[in-house]
């Protein structure tokens, strides 16, 4: 009998006669039965297969269950589930310990788990959660005491000391695992210096670094200038321009290259992550906008980009209102055509549904607005039109947006009739409308809170958390800095509930990988300009082929099925990225990146610090840790070592090769593929 956190656990041991060969094997099995049904009493029995050996079983409560066992060589292993059956009102699970070189036979453990019927809610809950074992593995490992962790990630139950549903500040001291977790969630994996700040100075210092960015203003200006090198080539094309130098970029390509340059080299990666989130919220497909009537029409795209860039940690209300003057948004959602004599509902509807209010209140479940409000809003946001303006930087004539009161529909209308706190009858101008809705409609702050909070934390925020986040927005007049800071320093952020809850989007995946691999700045000298440009476009293309092109969402909803598209109560964990086609293209992401790096003659081995390593094991573990923050199991390591030490002919014969990380042929055949295989593992595709 032993206890853990107040729960009593019984250990039962049964031993049987073993054959002489089996005596060589010392196998310790800890089976922890945990049920989340407080009303049922969990029991555990085991039945041994003919090839018996001793095993242990442990009973406890309050989690789904798993089996962990230790091999003779001391490595811990998780038993795989072979079958689950419902018999006589109990759920039986059969685990199998597979044969391998360390084992002489297999062990089957049947565990009686639950009393109930198939119709009971408890059973359904249990079945639904039976695959959710990550946190349980860690907890139970601790309980079992003798099993080492399955992965090198420290068990979250050890480090997490808090309430998973609380937005109160988490402890300042963080483990390496926690630092990496936060950086993976909201900063494309961060950087070594951000990781060092988190480890050495704690959560508050890390939050400051993420929010304020690293480096001084001069450095930020330099990044901006370097990124603008690409943007200027598309938007300010001029043969006399000294930046031209023969590499002409066409419009959207310029924007893509500029933004991916920022993704890659920003010392404030959270700013770029937030930009991506905002680009999916104020979703505008810049490639679908027709500015062809103006020589510098695509400057409108640049304006939209600047809006998101400059307001990623600004004020949400300001950003929403800025969309009224944004020529790209006006063109995209037809607000330029919305005048008092010819109403067009497109922008008005999406303003309410997608930008500032949402269809359904996430707490009450009530509809936030009605069709009458759509008609009223259409009138209130009318009056904007496109016109030329002079760009202050270049002095050139470019597209812009303006408001004409003569085109504005001033008919008094009723807005939000069913919402007493926000109902109004009258005529509003568009900025007044936005302020009114954000301030007075309770659903508005909740919608924004759930949308953004869900993407930063996890999709299924409960009502209490939504209410708390909404209050943060309201009490700070929709400033995003305190909102973001609350989330990234919260207890909820470091709980199990926030770990690996969303499939990374293609851009997240690409940028995360590229940031780890491309550690030196891209050359921008004349000789290498074109190569650098193609690298940036390769990054764009790999993400696009996997389903996401920056600034080109397929519709005004952004990227469907991405994490926490909370439309009318539907919550998704990134299932939109999952399909056979997209899976293959996701896999190609790394391959294409390797290809372009090879073409650039990039010192990949040097940047990964593996050039001087002499063993395949060392190369593999170094890359697994530095690029993917993971530790491999002995089985995986064995498999990969063999891969790195051999090659296969087209006919299938395997021969040994030397491990030579200093040699190009080895780098671009073996190390490159190793990186791609690791990047394909499911755990490296969640955040």
Considering only residues 492 to 511 of the shown chain, the ones binding another protein according to CB under 8 A are 500-503
* Partners of 94 in the β-ladder: 83, 110
Per CB under 8 A, 353 contacts another protein: yes
587 is an interface residue for another protein by CB under 8 A: yes
Q: Which is nearer to another protein, 187 or 352 (CB)?
A: 352
Structure tokens at 651: 């006919």
Instruction: Pick the stretch among 44-52, 267-275, 470-478, 677-685 that binds another protein (CB under 8 A).
Output: 677-685
Interaction residues for another protein, span 131-190 (CB under 8 A): 131-134, 137, 150
Closer CB to another protein, residue 77 or residue 115?
Answer: 77
Q: Does 341 bind another protein (CB under 8 A)?
A: yes
Q: How many CB atoms sit inside 10 A of residue 41's CB? A: 11
User: Long-range contact list for 50-54, CB < 8 A, 24+ apart?
Assistant: 51/19, 51/22, 51/104, 51/105, 51/106, 51/107, 52/16, 52/17, 52/18, 52/22, 53/16, 53/18, 53/22, 53/25, 53/27, 53/105, 53/107, 54/13, 54/14, 54/15, 54/16, 54/27, 54/28
Binding-site size for another protein (CB under 8 A) equals 92
Kindly identify the residues of this chain, within the stretch 227-286, that bind another protein according to CB under 8 A.
none
Find the shortest distance in angstroms from Cβ 266 to another protein.
27
> Is residue 82 a contact point for another protein (CB under 8 A)?
no
Residues 373-432 that bind another protein (CB under 8 A): 374
Residue with tokens 């909404």: 470
C-beta of 220 vs 582, nearer to another protein:
582
Whole-number Å distance between alpha carbons of 204 and 206: 5
**Which residue in the set 48, 158, 247, 686 belongs to the binding site for another protein (CB under 8 A)?**
686
Minimum CB separation from another protein for residue 325, in Å?
19
Q: How far apart are CA 39 and CA 578, in angstroms?
A: 37
Q: Which residues contact 221 (CB under 8 A, 6 or more apart)?
A: none
Q: Which stretch binds another protein (CB under 8 A): 263-271, 482-490, 518-526, 664-672?
A: 664-672
- In sequence order, the β-bridge partners of residue 58 are 11, 32
Contact flag: residue 650 with another protein (CB under 8 A) = yes
Phi and psi torsions of 652, nearest 5°: 110, -5
Give the separation between CA 112 and CA 109, rounded to whole angstroms: 10
The binder of another protein chosen from 164, 343, 482, 606 (CB under 8 A): 343
Q: What is the 3-state secondary structure (H, E, C) of 605-638?
A: HHHCCCCCCCCHHHHHHHHHHHHHCCCCCHHHHH
Subset of residues 512 to 551 that bind another protein, contact rule: CB under 8 A: 547
Which of 580, 601, 656, 658 touches another protein by CB under 8 A?
Answer: 580
Query: Among 556, 448, 566, which residue's Cα sits nearest to residue 502?
Result: 566
Tokens representing 408? 């504005």
Q: Is 101 in the site for another protein (CB under 8 A)?
A: no
Report the site for another protein in 122-141 (rule: CB under 8 A). 131-134, 137
Tokens 């090659």 appear where? 647
**Binding status of residue 205 toward another protein by CB under 8 A:** no
Q: CB 594 → another protein: shortest distance, Å?
A: 4
Smallest distance from the beta carbon of 303 to another protein, in angstroms?
21
CB of 226 to another protein, least distance (A): 27
Question: Cβ–Cβ contacts within 10 Å for residue 449, how many?
Answer: 25
407 versus 474: smaller Cβ distance to another protein? 407
Q: For residue 539, which of 235, 256, 228 has the smallest C-alpha distance?
A: 256
Using CB under 8 A, which of the segments 106-114, 449-457, 505-513, 589-597 binds another protein?
Answer: 589-597
């Amino acid at each position: 009998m032993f206890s853990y956190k107040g729960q009593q656990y019984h250990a039962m041991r049964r031993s049987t006669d073993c054959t002489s060969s089996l005596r060589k094997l010392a196998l310790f099995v800890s089976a922890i039965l945990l049920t989340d049904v407080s009303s049922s009493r969990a029991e555990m029995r085991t039945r041994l297969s003919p090839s018996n050996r001793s095993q242990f079983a442990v009973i406890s409560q309050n989690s789904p269950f798993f089996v962990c066992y230790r091999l003779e060589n001391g490595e811990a292993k998780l038993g795989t589930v072979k079958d689950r059956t419902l018999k006589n009102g109990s759920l039986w699970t059969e685990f199998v310990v597979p044969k391998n070189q360390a084992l002489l036979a297999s062990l089957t453990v049947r565990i009686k788990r639950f009393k109930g019927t198939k119709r009971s809610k408890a059973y359904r809950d249990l079945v639904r959660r039976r695959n959710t074992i990550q946190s349980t593995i860690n907890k139970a490992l601790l309980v079992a005491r003798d099993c080492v962790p399955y992965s090198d990630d420290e068990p979250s139950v050890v480090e997490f000391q808090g309430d998973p549903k609380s937005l109160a500040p988490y402890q300042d001291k963080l483990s390496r695992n926690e630092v990496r977790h936060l950086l993976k969630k909201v900063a494309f994996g961060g950087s070594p210096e951000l990781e060092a700040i988190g480890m050495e100075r704690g959560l508050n210092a890390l939050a400051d670094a993420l929010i304020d960015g690293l480096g001084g203003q001069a450095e930020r200006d330099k990044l901006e200038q370097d990124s603008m090198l690409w943007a200027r080539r598309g938007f300010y094309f001029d043969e006399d321009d000294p930046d031209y130098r023969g590499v002409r970029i066409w419009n959207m390509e310029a924007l893509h290259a500029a933004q991916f340059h920022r993704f890659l080299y920003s010392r404030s990666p959270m700013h770029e992550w937030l930009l991506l989130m905002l680009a999916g919220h104020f979703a505008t497909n810049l490639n679908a906008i027709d500015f062809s009537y103006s020589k510098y029409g695509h400057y409108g795209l640049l304006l939209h980009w600047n809006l998101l860039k400059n307001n990623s940690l600004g004020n949400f209300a300001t950003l929403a209102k800025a969309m009224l003057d944004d020529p790209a948004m006006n063109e995209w959602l037809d607000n330029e055509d919305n005048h008092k004599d010819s109403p067009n509902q497109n922008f008005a509807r999406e303003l309410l549904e997608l930008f500032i209010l949402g269809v359904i209140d996430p707490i009450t479940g009530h509809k936030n607005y009605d069709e009458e409000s759509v008609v009223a809003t259409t009138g209130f946001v009318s009056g904007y039109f496109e016109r030329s303006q002079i760009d202050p930087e270049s002095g050139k004539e470019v597209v812009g947006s303006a408001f004409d009161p003569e085109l504005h529909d001033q008919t008094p209308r009723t807005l939000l009739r069913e919402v007493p706190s926000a109902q109004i009858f009258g005529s509003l101008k568009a900025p007044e409308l936005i302020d009114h809705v954000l301030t007075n409609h309770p659903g508005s702050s909740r919608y924004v809170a759930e949308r953004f909070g869900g993407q930063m934390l996890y999709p299924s925020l409960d009502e209490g958390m939504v209410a708390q986040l909404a209050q943060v927005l309201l009490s700070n007049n929709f400033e995003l800095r305190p909102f973001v800071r609350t989330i990234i320093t919260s207890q909820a952020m470091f709980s199990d509930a926030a770990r690996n809850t969303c499939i990374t989007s293609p851009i997240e995946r690409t940028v995360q990988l590229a940031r780890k691999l491309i550690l030196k700045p891209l050359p921008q000298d004349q000789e290498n300009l074109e190569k650098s440009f193609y690298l940036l476009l390769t990054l764009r293309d790999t993400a696009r082929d996997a389903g996401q092109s920056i600034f080109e969402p397929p519709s005004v909803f952004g990227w469907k099925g991405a994490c926490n598209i909370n439309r009318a109560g539907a919550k998704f964990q990134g299932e939109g990225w999952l399909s056979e086609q997209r899976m293959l293209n996701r896999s190609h992401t790394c391959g294409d990146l390797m290809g372009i790096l090879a073409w650039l003659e990039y010192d990949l081995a040097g940047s990964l610090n593996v050039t001087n390593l002499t063993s395949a094991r060392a190369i593999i573990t170094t890359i697994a840790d530095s690029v993917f923050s993971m530790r491999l199991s002995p089985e995986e390591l064995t498999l990969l070592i063999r891969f790195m030490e051999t090659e296969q002919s087209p006919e299938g014969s395997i021969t040994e090769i030397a491990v030579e990380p200093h040699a190009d042929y080895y780098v671009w055949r073996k190390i490159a593929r190793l990186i791609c295989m690791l990047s394909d593992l499911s755990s490296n595709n969640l955040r």
